Chains A and B, each alone.
Chain A
């Protein structure tokens, strides 16, 4: 598995991949952090939503205020992971490179495992750097707006930040499991990425909005959003984590079985 892991890194460390992966992973959290702080008001009043949601200074001055923007968009980092994993696996089929890989590593489960772990490490770095850069922006912008950062550096603030990293990372990895499985199943990035994004964004929203309102507590994207937020109104954190671990185990086992059984 070490060979597969090391081999995958050669592909992941290329400049375009680093630019694309880190660019997409950083864009949403950093933007959310900047907008959250810049649009914050001392005494927000409800204006009918004409100016969007505005956070109060008091909210941002809580220990969780440091990563408020990051947490709001952490599921979007997960969508980046979904696309990254789907592309990484399906491209091996569509480019015809899978055969070369299988000649050098015929133990297919090891190839799959090493490749997956390399992608997990990559997305882990994306999450850590995305949160790190967002935190840096938060510290840089807050004093100019007169927002106190004292609570952010408290032990509770640091703990909240680490939890935000952990939740975003777990969600991204689980999004990655679904992405990898779709990549293996559909064998083409041109098919697997649109199918993945379509399901995880509009289709699931339509299902819970128009067909099955209780689905928010059971369907994967809603659970992943709940996990990334550390629990929300749809699901508690522990329920989301338990359900997603079960889903991921089933999906990963099925994808591995398919990958091992199918002719290359």
Chain B
């Protein structure tokens, strides 16, 4: 797969927010799959939609695509209400859950089914097949494809309408490391051309690598949305100090405690919860105390750590609320 896409149309610079949802909800009998979700996705970004399995990602995507009907709230996609998906789906490409195709038809014929149905330009079939590097296998039956090839065919199908918005649900499922890297490249290429991409995944490292905007969902509720850089910057950084002699660990921890920093010994290293500037100060104080450091590293929170920090805080708030109600 290459970054250069064959698309010509985009909505770069459009004032319309690609996805806006307000209190969007979906209940399946006793289960509240999506619970009052608010979404505001900026134009031209790769937006990550993350959360554990069963958090409500796929149901939210299905709501946005008009495949399931909401039990509460509203949403607009490309400025049009989701009550009339026919008004915006011509400009939306989507890969929903695991890619499903007619196994007895070739990849090319499967795409032909979709182009004819959507009255799309049939000449784009070859373009999108080339984009996902399936040209050589395009005339083979889909039942002979690997999962990764089906995934790529799903992306090709999503790109058929020359979309302004692409929604990909777990697009890296079944891909090998090279395929994952190529998928990242395709998504970035789309965003570079002003096409907004919403990609859902439970693989937080994947999202961290490719997205610039983030929505976190847990138990059907959005627990965070905003720029991914802002989220990570707001997380607590740390300093890992490794003294030359491990018997100095206790004295090093005492120095940190005296400065009001939380520190714990973890094997041969001392982990300090502190800002980046504390590393230099710790180095100075250790030298003054006669402790030689053979390692000093500033660590940043990963998206995974940020996710758990946020969801743990949400759970604690819920518990506190429940306790308050019981009292």
Judged by a CB distance under 8 angstroms, whether B279 is at the interface is no
| Cα distance, A14 to B102, chains bound together (Å) | 11
Chain A residue at smallest Cβ distance from B98: A96
| B 46-72 binary contact with A (CB < 8 Å = 1; else 0) | 000000000000000010011111000
Size band of the interface chain A makes with B: 20 to 34
Q: Which residues of A contact B113 (CB under 8 A)?
A: 7, 10-11, 101
- Complex contact A96–B100 (CB within 8 A): yes
Query: For the complex, would chain A's binding face be called helix, strand, loop or mixed by DSSP majority?
Result: helix
Q: Which stretch, B114-122, B190-198, B249-257, touches the partner chain A?
A: B114-122
A263 and B116 contact, Cβ closer than 8 Å, known pairs A16-B104, A103-B89: no
Provide a sorted-by-A list of 24 A–B residue pairs whose CB atoms are within 8 angstroms.
A6-B116, A6-B117, A7-B113, A7-B116, A10-B105, A10-B109, A10-B112, A11-B113, A14-B104, A95-B100, A99-B100, A101-B117, A102-B66, A102-B67, A103-B89, A104-B89, A104-B161, A105-B118, A106-B66, A107-B86, A111-B117, A263-B69, A264-B62, A264-B67
Q: Which residues of B contact A103 (CB under 8 A)?
A: 65, 67, 89, 92, 94, 96
| Cα distance, A210 to B192, chains bound together (Å) | 72
- Complex contact B67–A3 (CB within 8 A): no
Chain A residue at smallest Cβ distance from B101: A97
Seen from chain B, the residues whose Cβ lies within 8 Å of a Cβ on chain A are 62, 65-69, 85-86, 89, 92, 94, 96-98, 100-105, 109, 112-114, 116-120, 157, 161
Judged by a CB distance under 8 angstroms, whether A168 is at the interface is no
- Complex contact A3–B116 (CB within 8 A): yes
| Cα distance, A4 to B113, chains bound together (Å) | 9
Cβ distance B326 to chain A, nearest Cβ, rounded Å: 36
Q: Which residues of B contact A96 (CB under 8 A)?
A: 97-98, 100
Judged by a CB distance under 8 angstroms, whether A100 is at the interface is yes
A97 and B100 contact, Cβ closer than 8 Å, known pairs A3-B117, A10-B113, A104-B114: yes
Cβ distance A20 to chain B, nearest Cβ, rounded Å: 11
- Complex contact A99–B114 (CB within 8 A): no
Cβ distance A45 to chain B, nearest Cβ, rounded Å: 52
| Cα distance, A106 to B118, chains bound together (Å) | 9
A10 and B67 contact, Cβ closer than 8 Å, known pairs A103-B94, A106-B89, A107-B86: no
Q: Which residues of B contact A10 (CB under 8 A)?
A: 105, 109, 112-113, 116
Which single member of A3, A16, A95, A264 contacts B118 (CB below 8 Å)? A3
Q: Which residues of B contact A99 (CB under 8 A)?
A: 62, 65, 67, 96-97, 100
Q: Which residues of A contact B96 (CB under 8 A)?
A: 99-100, 103
Cβ distance A210 to chain B, nearest Cβ, rounded Å: 40
Cβ distance A207 to chain B, nearest Cβ, rounded Å: 35
Cβ distance B62 to chain A, nearest Cβ, rounded Å: 7
Cβ distance B89 to chain A, nearest Cβ, rounded Å: 5
Which single member of B85, B97, B100, B161 contacts A106 (CB below 8 Å)? B85
- Complex contact A263–B119 (CB within 8 A): no
Q: Which residues of A contact B102 (CB under 8 A)?
A: 11, 95, 97
| A 73-115 binary contact with B (CB < 8 Å = 1; else 0) | 0000000000000000000000111011111111100010000
Q: Which residues of B contact A105 (CB under 8 A)?
A: 117-118
Cβ distance A100 to chain B, nearest Cβ, rounded Å: 6
- Complex contact B92–A3 (CB within 8 A): no
Q: Which residues of A contact B92 (CB under 8 A)?
A: 103
Given contacts A103-B92, A103-B96, 20 further A-B contacts (CB under 8 A): A2-B119, A3-B116, A3-B118, A7-B114, A9-B116, A10-B105, A10-B112, A14-B109, A16-B104, A95-B100, A96-B97, A97-B101, A97-B102, A99-B62, A101-B117, A102-B66, A104-B89, A104-B120, A107-B86, A264-B62
| Cα distance, A4 to B98, chains bound together (Å) | 23
| Cα distance, A2 to B117, chains bound together (Å) | 8
- Complex contact B114–A100 (CB within 8 A): yes
| Cα distance, A2 to B116, chains bound together (Å) | 9
- Interface centre among A4, A95, A104, A263, by most chain B C-beta atoms within 10 angstroms, is A104
Q: Which residues of A contact B98 (CB under 8 A)?
A: 96
| Cα distance, A99 to B94, chains bound together (Å) | 10
Which parts of A1-27 form the interface with B (CB within 8 Å)? 2-4, 6-7, 9-11, 14, 16
Cβ distance A158 to chain B, nearest Cβ, rounded Å: 38
Q: Which residues of B contact A107 (CB under 8 A)?
A: 86
